[in-house]
Structure 1
């Protein structure tokens, strides 16, 4: 994160007007000292984006990587070995692999994002299973340290500019060096960090960025990965420039949702010179089609030497297109800094125009319409890649959730990568943005404040969360900590309420501090809280926690599998049906967030070994739906729905009772076995239907009806043996930028093309053309197969591979083959694209 002091943050805090959230009013802050605004009638700066004023360069390519050692300095490239002169005794001479002349030619060549933990072997140790079974920690010094080096050149013409490097996320505790010069240490695995490296650059020559990343200690109780798993950026600006995350747009509608929108624009200007600077900020507002709909400029502001100051402007959008779940319209602010009448810096940010509120009696409203929050909680890892997700996978995951009917996403339990929020903005997904550490320590407040400054322009965010199931949540000490966190947060944003995910002590501790009461589970206590505290809005910050394994219909502790009926849950949890019926019946409950949308590595429940992944997801780690996915699909969407399960391959169980479930939102469903009716049942809202069926090979068929007419039919058939491989890419056209990906889903079918629900054939992938396979998976929570590989066994008929484009356009052909199966291939077109500027 930018190296601000707490005093700097208070000094630079953005002023905001009072906001009513539920029934609570948040205090207004002091007005900035700089002159506020000139309206659009004044001359404005050119609205076009001028890339010569500021360069944002992606630093993801061309890195070298090697494991170090937490205990043995020789195996840690002699870092800290010298006893005569301390590691940090002399500036620019930290030793080990930190210097410019260190020979890293034997190190692995990698690109970012990178998670070295996903490549480590599984260690079947009960001390590791909770975090995914990878050897990270004090007992594993040889695999808990990672070294990264990145060479780059800066031209001599950049002398006089300010050069900054930002890390969006490093897991964890990174010591950062440039050209042998120690820059600092970043303890958080989730917060962004930024360094001004202007003084340390070799202008007109080569430079080396070096990091020693220490993943020995964890922050979570789940798989977190290890390494530089988010983007790294290098930014070049003039000495007088807009500070990092310095643009902030607040919108309000003057007369309901059809009236003009008033925009309050603030830009934080940094003067990195030794003299006062008189500057003006010109702002242009571009609508979702890229057309200019407003321009405005500030009055002249004097920025003191080596100081930051806020410049404020007001603008109006006459006919705003509102951001919503259904129509996620995005505007763009382009702000240009003029010094002595000459443009010197320009930065842009997207934002949305919408209204939100949490009401104590009627729940959540967006644009004055009631919206029930139908959310999921999620960690940040995915099959094949661990925690190092390419940007496209963020969109893929949000698309899958929206397809299910979800409209909200909780970032559990940490600040997310910015690209996830971009995906939620563009696809129409509400967000509860959660900080990692519940604390008012300087470090924790710095992380909270950086999250808020970075994320506050995203229209998708409707809630900030400051805590999750904390031991101090119900204490007076916790309340004091919460107040300090609220004060820090509200200095930077008062347009959204704050919540905390609490699993006990409601009405105590931080309950009296936050704006919206968050409930984790415990349905019987929610009505009592509402009766005692009727004026506080409420939300289900974490709900359900049903456990299931895709395609499994009987508990199997030996293999670590859990039946996929909506019946299995830990002692603290609820079934999908129980929690949703409860929340749906209470208008004052704003809705809730299911634990979880996707399975994730670590935290296996109810079984430990052999499991190395959770069972909580509505989808597995690949994104393949489980049956509970279809419960929500049925009741969270509005179109007619019908889902029948289990499969109908039960050889050896002829004549035995099989429990057959059905989800449908039609009036009734009739079930047939091999053409014979087993009876019709009336559908209960938010419920399910069950038949006990004596197994006989053939076909079970469900026919859903409304108003006396059959509306939907679904079958499950006894299949033949595995015979073919079918490939289904999520996209057949991607960009040749070295980053874009396509997810290839693999189905094992019989000769008639029906999925074989028990198939476990090992599938080998061969790629030709302009791309590479970056990961494989199958969603099996007890699988120890490698993620970075070219083969994967199917799990209950499914597996997948992720293909990434190179920087050269051309076709990418993937062939999938397996012994005794008909192979298949698919071609992805990798088209020429304008890549992001890189260094």
Structure 2
């Protein structure tokens, strides 16, 4: 045997020391994303049989602990349900109907569609024996809406709002070392907003594990004061003790910069809170040469809060934060880090084309990058608390935020929602203002509004005194809320005299919380009410609403106004003003639902950004309009612009600040060219060319995609033989994918009733007319199958103490169209043992992977009524009160979807894809009738 050297001994001791150090620094806290592998099925709003028998039990889940029934019961058979990953929005999968909700984009869901308004989710998880002694919780970022959550049959609670995060302690209910069942029932029959809200578990879900002594959920609050180049950071932490430990603890606060370097630390001793009590502890930490968070330099820090008990770390809690100052001034507007910043904001709902509300994280960053590229520096969450990932994107990309609660009021329902929003979000440096209401017309102008605002404003300040409070007002700016709110939020200058209000309330800062409610259809330049198309030229839409240009001129030229938030950055589903059916999305956005820019984007880019801009509208494909005048607009921040048609000058014009330029041009095919000048020098050239017919499909990866994600947004278009984009193309494009999956498709057409998602249809068919009769013998003959004598209703008046040795059961199920393409399976639920299953007289065998699943081949099935016969020996009761299963099972019919496809609208469509976990690349193919196909290889990080 070779002797051990001194070097090897030294290395061994270093290894032991490192292992010991690691074990001492590793806490009990884990946050595990559990989005994958859920089972889902639609239930029913009021028919309990169609809702899988839920709430039919003699003892309900509210009467006795652990009595969740139907799908809430741990043993419920969900094998026939659809398998999916979260986040998930079931409404976006539905078809459109004129009878559906106008405000929710005419998608088939809600009270008028009880079979589409309730959704069930189930997931199995294993929790190891080693987790005994920890506190285990389920953490939901948001479920729309009115969710009920069960764990191993135990009812955990209800969350009414679809926008609040919530969590439940499940420690007492866990089956350690075995299977545990999470069940969520969402009831989306009630609308909270007047805009598309989706339905289901549309945000992330986590399993959280902590030591009994831990930082509570959202338990840190970080503020800072800046002096010269240094900052004093105040870190308040709330610690909870769900154990029996009594004694001293050590609390360490460590600040880490973006490079992972520890820049400041402090530790102090304290007494642990008592059993199931909380205690707050505050530390002051100095950071030298602090890097400030700013729009253009969004520097972030991390606070690592450690709790040590008897020298061992029992909890590590991380909080991202930024160091910066904000100030609203009644005379000079908004200041960030002491410098004036004009708010160039947009309002936005939370849905996106093809996806609905279940946005993958990457899409949050994609949308904020789109807004930043337009020149926007501020985002109003209209009109509800956002998903946490949206705020993370704003923190990391440099976007200021107004965070808004859903409903005004002074009772626990309203204030608790407000409290949870502020405590969850107050460490985000991007947030500059809390909004406690929006356009509450019943109370805006009276004493009730004043009282409610005073309470909510004071309540907000008690939780976070560092940020001001606003309300968006639209019913006049004279009294009520307007007279007491800290930051006046003007919704549309046509609704009142802003200057007059300012003259009366000179100490009240103000901003345009909603402005520029214009109508525009991307790529359309003539209003056509029959087609529900609104011209993309920026025109005053109605007497009390102003164009984007009029709105920006008003706010930009008034120093006392902090800025304005346009309604909206993106189009959104629902609220298709000024039309109704078949328009299904709004017309308000600067971009459409995909994020494709309308022409107003280039107006804003001209005056919101710093880079030179030159944009010509419209396109120059006007076959059949030769010789007719076309309005040509140029958006630019150049001093002068000269326009040419086929190299002939149409004149040079001087650009007015915050304005645009116009020409009347008689159409002739060819090239429309604009040249922009600064200080007399040519700096930019822009052209619009008449294209030829579409020839090829083109796919391109959008530049705003995050570089480190598994989700990509792809632009789809067609080009002519010269490679020019065809702006009028409307070809239908069909897609296929390898190495990934398609999440959604869209094209920005507000009247498109095409599918957003192409998924297999699942239909669950019950077995009806279920009968039984005694049977003796081992082999079921054909005559026994055909014998119609002595059948009676199955299980009726069964004497379980005197059962036959075996029974034959008979039932029916109906099959309709598409018999050849459908996939049909029978999921047997045990009504006996040693069963044999016959369909239409033919013995069928169980699947190899599941002995209680029977695939029904097309050869044994027929359209219309089918008969199923089950021979089984009976189950025996162990206790007299045992409830025996009498449900033989369910027939699952899967109708394969047609291929993914989408028509181009005004030349563009969009497809959103996600890489498979183990794939190195994704290959997306696109084809269209009469066009050359396209193939795109996308390499994404694992």
Measured after TM superposition, the shift of residue 510 of structure 1 is: 2.3
CA distance 1:670–1:48, change in 2 (3 Å): farther
For 1:363-442, list aligned pairs within 5 A: 363-442=333-412
The answer on whether the counterparts of 1:131 and 1:223 sit within 8 Å (CA) in structure 2 is: yes
Measured after TM superposition, the shift of residue 735 of structure 1 is: 8.4
In the aligned structure 1, how far is the partner of 2:560 from the partner of 2:457?
24
- Name which of 147, 156, 176 aligns with 2:120: 147
- Name which of 772, 776, 790 aligns with 2:745: 776
SS in structure 2 at match of 1:765: strand
Measured after TM superposition, the shift of residue 274 of structure 1 is: 4.2
Would you say 1:542 and 2:511 are equivalent positions?
no
In the aligned structure 1, how far is the partner of 2:506 from the partner of 2:668?
55
Measured after TM superposition, the shift of residue 48 of structure 1 is: 12
User: 496-505 vs 206-215, which deviates more?
Assistant: 496-505
Deviations 1:599-648 (A, max 9, x none): 00000011111100001000000000000111101110112110100011
Higher RCO, 1 or 2 (CA under 8 Å, sep at least 6)?
Answer: 1
Would you say 1:159 and 2:132 are equivalent positions?
yes
In the aligned structure 2, how far is the partner of 1:612 from the partner of 1:49?
57
Which residue of structure 2 lines up, in the alignment, with residue 15 of structure 1? none
In the aligned structure 1, how far is the partner of 2:704 from the partner of 2:586?
31
Which residue of structure 1 lines up, in the alignment, with residue 210 of structure 2? 237
Would you say 1:815 and 2:940 are equivalent positions?
no
Would you say 1:452 and 2:422 are equivalent positions?
yes
For 1:38-57, list aligned pairs within 5 A: 50=25, 52-57=27-32
SS in structure 2 at match of 1:129: coil
- Name which of 99, 103, 112 aligns with 2:73: 99
Measured after TM superposition, the shift of residue 505 of structure 1 is: 4.0
In the aligned structure 2, how far is the partner of 1:633 from the partner of 1:306?
54
Would you say 1:194 and 2:167 are equivalent positions?
yes
Which residue of structure 1 lines up, in the alignment, with residue 728 of structure 2? 758
CA distance 1:699–1:507, change in 2 (3 Å): same
In the aligned structure 1, how far is the partner of 2:295 from the partner of 2:178?
49
In the aligned structure 2, how far is the partner of 1:797 from the partner of 1:277?
69
Would you say 1:298 and 2:268 are equivalent positions?
yes
In the aligned structure 1, how far is the partner of 2:142 from the partner of 2:24?
28
The answer on whether the counterparts of 2:915 and 2:921 sit within 8 Å (CA) in structure 1 is: no
Measured after TM superposition, the shift of residue 819 of structure 1 is: 0.9
Measured after TM superposition, the shift of residue 277 of structure 1 is: 4.5
Larger radius of gyration: 2
TM-score (norm. length: structure 2): 0.81
Which residue of structure 2 lines up, in the alignment, with residue 307 of structure 1? 277
Which residue of structure 2 lines up, in the alignment, with residue 590 of structure 1? 562
Which residue of structure 1 lines up, in the alignment, with residue 765 of structure 2? none
Which residue of structure 2 lines up, in the alignment, with residue 251 of structure 1? 224
Deviations 1:226-275 (A, max 9, x none): 000000111100001000010111011023xxx21001011100011245
Deviations 1:263-313 (A, max 9, x none): 101110001124544322101100121111100013313412210110110
Residue segments in structure 1 that go unaligned for 5+ positions in a row:
1-45, 833-839
In the aligned structure 2, how far is the partner of 1:760 from the partner of 1:48?
62
Would you say 1:716 and 2:688 are equivalent positions?
yes
In the aligned structure 2, how far is the partner of 1:779 from the partner of 1:546?
16
In the aligned structure 2, how far is the partner of 1:481 from the partner of 1:281?
39
Measured after TM superposition, the shift of residue 740 of structure 1 is: 2.4
In the aligned structure 1, how far is the partner of 2:164 from the partner of 2:478?
30
Which residue of structure 2 lines up, in the alignment, with residue 16 of structure 1? none
User: 272-281 vs 695-704, which deviates more?
Assistant: 272-281
In the aligned structure 1, how far is the partner of 2:612 from the partner of 2:706?
33
Deviations 1:810-833 (A, max 9, x none): 11111111111111111111333x
Measured after TM superposition, the shift of residue 808 of structure 1 is: 0.9
Which residue of structure 1 lines up, in the alignment, with residue 102 of structure 2? 129
For 1:524-535, list aligned pairs within 5 A: 525-535=497-507
- Name which of 275, 280, 287 aligns with 2:250: 280
SS in structure 1 at match of 2:713: strand
Would you say 1:476 and 2:451 are equivalent positions?
no
Which residue of structure 2 lines up, in the alignment, with residue 73 of structure 1? 48
For 1:492-571, list aligned pairs within 5 A: 492-522=463-493, 525-571=497-543
In the aligned structure 2, how far is the partner of 1:424 from the partner of 1:732?
14
Would you say 1:797 and 2:767 are equivalent positions?
no
In the aligned structure 2, how far is the partner of 1:326 from the partner of 1:47?
38
SS in structure 2 at match of 1:190: coil
Number of residue pairs aligned between Structure 1 and Structure 2: 780
In the aligned structure 2, how far is the partner of 1:308 from the partner of 1:682?
66
Would you say 1:611 and 2:570 are equivalent positions?
no
CA distance 1:47–1:364, change in 2 (3 Å): farther
Which residue of structure 2 lines up, in the alignment, with residue 465 of structure 1? 435
- Name which of 345, 354, 360 aligns with 2:330: 360
Which residue of structure 1 lines up, in the alignment, with residue 59 of structure 2? 85
CA distance 1:451–1:732, change in 2 (3 Å): closer
CA distance 1:613–1:734, change in 2 (3 Å): closer
- Name which of 649, 659, 675 aligns with 2:621: 649
Would you say 1:114 and 2:224 are equivalent positions?
no
> RMSD of aligned C-alpha atoms?
1.8
Measured after TM superposition, the shift of residue 220 of structure 1 is: 0.4
SS in structure 1 at match of 2:940: strand
SS in structure 1 at match of 2:917: coil
Would you say 1:659 and 2:769 are equivalent positions?
no
Which residue of structure 1 lines up, in the alignment, with residue 661 of structure 2? 689
Deviations 1:702-740 (A, max 9, x none): 11112222211111111101111111112699889xx72
In the aligned structure 1, how far is the partner of 2:247 from the partner of 2:75?
40
In the aligned structure 1, how far is the partner of 2:247 from the partner of 2:599?
62
SS in structure 1 at match of 2:500: helix
Residue segments in structure 2 that go unaligned for 5+ positions in a row:
1-20, 759-899
Would you say 1:830 and 2:801 are equivalent positions?
no
The answer on whether the counterparts of 2:539 and 2:547 sit within 8 Å (CA) in structure 1 is: yes
- Name which of 319, 328, 332 aligns with 2:302: 332
SS in structure 2 at match of 1:131: coil
Measured after TM superposition, the shift of residue 671 of structure 1 is: 1.1
Which residue of structure 2 lines up, in the alignment, with residue 12 of structure 1? none
In the aligned structure 2, how far is the partner of 1:614 from the partner of 1:377?
13
Measured after TM superposition, the shift of residue 474 of structure 1 is: 2.1
In the aligned structure 2, how far is the partner of 1:73 from the partner of 1:53?
42
The answer on whether the counterparts of 2:27 and 2:313 sit within 8 Å (CA) in structure 1 is: no
In the aligned structure 1, how far is the partner of 2:914 from the partner of 2:706?
9
The answer on whether the counterparts of 1:733 and 1:829 sit within 8 Å (CA) in structure 2 is: no
In the aligned structure 2, how far is the partner of 1:197 from the partner of 1:488?
31
The answer on whether the counterparts of 1:732 and 1:828 sit within 8 Å (CA) in structure 2 is: no
SS in structure 2 at match of 1:424: helix
